[in-house]
Chain A
Amino acid sequence: EVQLVESGGGLIQPGGSLRLSCAASGFTVSSNYMSWVRQAPGKGLEWVSVIYSGGSTYYADSVKGRFTISRDNSKNTLYLQMNSLRAEDTAVYYCARDLTVTIGHYYYYYGMDVWGQGTTVTVSS
């Protein structure tokens, strides 16, 4: 069964750090594009970051320089290291498999087909 399971969320003070994990089963993380998406309480979905199968990484402007996406191929696990956390980072964080297909210099986007159940991050003093 294809599945993603997030962990690592919790209550953290402003300025603190947290590392989220996303364990995959049924497919290989390193062979896919993988994204983190968050949802603040009562708000919509916000894309956070993506790691390509080739290893390139990209970030939303709101987290660039503070968050780092990575993966451990041996554990088939995706990570999101979050530093310098702010109150506005409070959200449910989801990992998702991204179905982008790259052919040469062209990208064909087919959405995110597998999502984890989410892990809650609360930044508060």
Chain B
Amino acid sequence: SSELTQDPAVSVALGQTVRITCQGDSLRSYYASWYQQKPGQAPVLVIYGKNNRPSGIPDRFSGSSSGNTASLTITGAQAEDEADYYCNSRDSSGNHHVVFGGGTKLTVL
């Protein structure tokens, strides 16, 4: 089955831009989706498809993809963006599974 790899932790200064990456073979076949999760809360979808934001997600969140790597970019990070971020996609091995990355803890300094 496929795996998605994320850096465990990333930090960014308040107001600066940060990129969180996700690598995996399945990303050559399927778009990555990105989720924000704050402590004690359910995950929230922030990016899906090529680069789409659900209603209510600020436009400072954007997504991109190249080859086997997907990226979530936060332009002008805010204190409230401090959270865990997970990527996910379908497994490309044909088993109908879904895979998640291990998550990236974003700290806003």
Contact = CB atoms under 8 A, between A and B. Distances in A.
Interface of A: 35, 37, 44-47, 50, 56, 58, 60-61, 94, 98-100, 107-113, 115-118
Interface of B: 1, 30-31, 33-35, 37, 42-45, 47-49, 52, 54, 84, 86, 88-90, 95-103
A61 B93 CA distance: 14
Contacts of A116: 42
B16 to A, nearest CB: 25
**SS of B interface (majority):** strand
Contacts of A109: 30-31, 33, 89-90, 98
B42 A111 contact: no
Residue of B30, B84, B101 contacting most chain A CB atoms (<10 Å): B30
Given A44-B102, A47-B97, A111 B45 contact: yes
Contacts of B34: 111
A45 B42 contact: no
B63 to A, nearest CB: 10
A44 B103 contact: yes
B90 A45 contact: no
B103 to A, nearest CB: 4
Given A44-B103, A100-B90, A112-B33, A118 B98 contact: no
A107 B35 contact: no
B44 A115 contact: yes
B100 A46 contact: yes
Nearest to A48: B98
A94 B31 contact: no
Nearest to A94: B42
B48 A50 contact: no
22 contacts: A37-B43, A37-B100, A44-B100, A44-B102, A45-B100, A47-B99, A50-B96, A50-B98, A56-B96, A58-B96, A60-B97, A94-B43, A108-B30, A109-B30, A110-B33, A110-B52, A111-B33, A111-B35, A112-B45, A112-B88, A115-B44, A117-B42
